[in-house]
Amino acid sequence: MTALDLSSPVAVVGTGTMGQGIAQVALVAGHPVRLYDAAPGRAREAAVAIGARLDRLVDKGRLDAAARDAARARLEPAQTLAELADCALVVEAVLERLDVKQQLFGELEDIVAEDCLLATNTSSLSVTAIGGALRHPGRFLGLHFFNPAPLLPLVEVVSGFATDVASATRAYETARAWGKTPVACADTPGFIVNRIARPFYAEAFAVYEAQAADPATIDAVLRESGGFRMGAFELTDLIGQDVNEAVTRSVWQSFFQDVRFTPSLAQRRLVESGRLGRKTGHGWYDHTEGAERPEPHTADKEQPPAHVVAEGRLGPARELLDLIREAGIQVREEDEDNGTRLVLPSGGQLVLADGQTSVEFRDVVYFDLALDYRKATRIALAACQDTSPRTLAEATGLFQALGKDVSVIGDVPGMIVARTVARIIDLAHDALVKGVATKEDIDTAMRLGVNYPLGPFEWDDRLGHDFAYEVLDEMHDRDPSGRYAPSLALFRHSCAAERREDPS
C-alpha cells in the first residue's frame, strides 16, 4: 500500500493552530488542500494565515517563491462540508469532545467516497469510540500530529479496534511522504507519547508536593542532570496547565483511575486559580513582563575530600570514578558485589539513588542519577536531619570539585531523575507487552515527540536492566499505594536479564 498520490485533495476540518499546521504540512508536500471550519469566515482567515507563514519560509530561505506561489494556488477555503466530497483524506482537528467529533464524521461519511481516509488528530479521546458509529469504520484512524505540526517530525498513526490494516498503512506511508516520522500504535489511552510521558510531570509534581524541592530546583536538576530539554514546571507552563492537566486526567480516567496516572492536586489548584502558564502570565512561574525567574537552590562552596573509597563500580554512575581521579582526588577501589557507594573520609557514605531514603541508614547521602555524569552541570544530593554535616559537606565538595553545581533536596525516595526515568522505563515495558507499539517506535516517539535525550529502552540498556525495577520496587515498599509497583512486564524483563548475566 502506497502513499496518497499528490494529485489527491486533502481536507482539514478545524482551523485552529493545529488545523492550520496540518494543512500547511500537506500543502507544502504538494497536495491540493481544502480548509473547512464551522465558524463562518474562519477558513478564509486560516488560508491567509497559512499564506503568511509560507511568506516567512521564503524569507528564511526554506521555500522558494515559485513553490510558495504554487502552494497558495492549491489552498482553497471551503464554505460547506459538501465541498470536500472529492478528497482522498480528511483530517479533523476540532474541539476535543467525543460527541462533536462523532457528529462531524457521521456527516462526512455521507459526503466523501467510500475509499476516502478519515482521520482524527485527537490527543486524548478514543479513536475507536470516535469512529464507532460509522458505517465503514475500517477507513477511520488517528493521525496525531504534535504542535507545531510543520516543525515537529513525529506523527502517531493510531489504529482503532476496527481500522483496516490497509488504511493504517496508507496513512503511515502518506505521513512519511510528507516528510514526517510516523510511528504505528494501537488505540490505548494516551497512545504512545501521552501515556509514557505522564511520570515526567507526575514525579516532579510529587517531589514538589512533598516539599523536597521548589520548581526552579527540580527543573534545573531535570535539565542539567537528567539531560531533558526543559523541566516539568517550565514545560507545563509552556503547554498550558489546563491542557496538560486535562490530558493527565483523561489518561487516568481512561485507565479506570489507575493510581500510576493519578493527577497532581497541586496542578489542579493551579488550574482552578486560573494560573495556566505563559498564556495567562502566571503558572508555576511568573511570566509577566519584568518578572525575575527564580534561581535553583545551589549549595555554598565546600572543600572536597582528599580521598574516597569506592565499594563496587557504582553501577550506572561508574564513570564518576574517572572524573574523581581527574579532579586529583585519590580513589581506592574495593570489590563488592553490586556496590554502588563511595565512602567519604568522615566515614559517611555517598550512594546512588536506589529508591530508599537517607533516614533509614546511618550517615548516608544520596546522589541522583545523571544522563551523563561527565556532561552534567548539576547534581542533586539528598540527606536527612540526622546526616552528619561533615558528610554532607564532603559530598557537596566532591561534586563541586568535578565542576558541578550541587542542589541539596529533601530526603525523598528515588530523588528526582532516578524515579522519573525508572517510571518512564516501566511504562514503556508495559506498553510494549500490551501491544501498544514496537520497542523501536516507542523510543522514536519519546525522542521526537517530547524531545527526551534517550528513548526509554535506550535508557534501560544504558542503566542496566535491573536499575528501574530495583528503584521502583524499593519505592513501592515505602509507598504501597501501587503508584510505584513495578509492572509485571518490567519484573519479567529484570528476571530475564538477571538470568542472562548469571546463567548458573
Taking a C-beta distance cutoff of 8 angstroms, is the pair 6, 30 a contact? yes
Length of the chain (residues): 504
Query: Does residue 156 carry a catalytic annotation?
Result: yes
| Residue of 194, 358, 407, 494 with catalytic role | 194
Greatest Cα pair distance in the chain: 79
Is 465 an annotated catalytic residue?
A: no
Whether residue 338 lies in the annotated active site? no
- Give helix then strand counts, H and E, for the chain: 19, 15
The answer to whether residues 170 and 144 touch, using CB atoms and an 8 Å cutoff, is: no
Q: Which residues of 218-229 are buried (b: 16+ CB within 10 A; e: fewer)?
A: bbbbbbbbbbbe
Among the listed residues 144, 282, 429, 493, the single catalytic one is 144
Helix (H) or strand (E) holding 66: helix 65-74
Give catalytic status of residue 194 as yes or no: yes
Where are the extended beta strands (E) located within 163-290?
181-186
For cell 489511552, what's the residue?
A: 189
Of 385, 372, 352, residue with least CA distance to 474:
352
Tell me phi and psi for residue 180, to 5 degrees.
Answer: -95, 170
**Catalytic entry in 109, 121, 123, 225:** 123
Location of C-alpha cell 482522498: 88
**CB contact set of 480 (below 8 Å; sequence gap of 6+):** none
Contact 411, 401 (CB under 8 A): no
Coil, strand or helix: which one is 455? coil
- Closest among 305, 485, 267, 486 to 401, alpha carbons compared: 305
Q: How far is CA 497 from the centre of its chain?
A: 26
Q: Exactly one of 92, 109, 156, 245 is catalytic; which is it? A: 156
How far, in Å, CA of 70 to CA of 146, rounded? 26
List active site positions. Answer: 123, 144, 156, 194
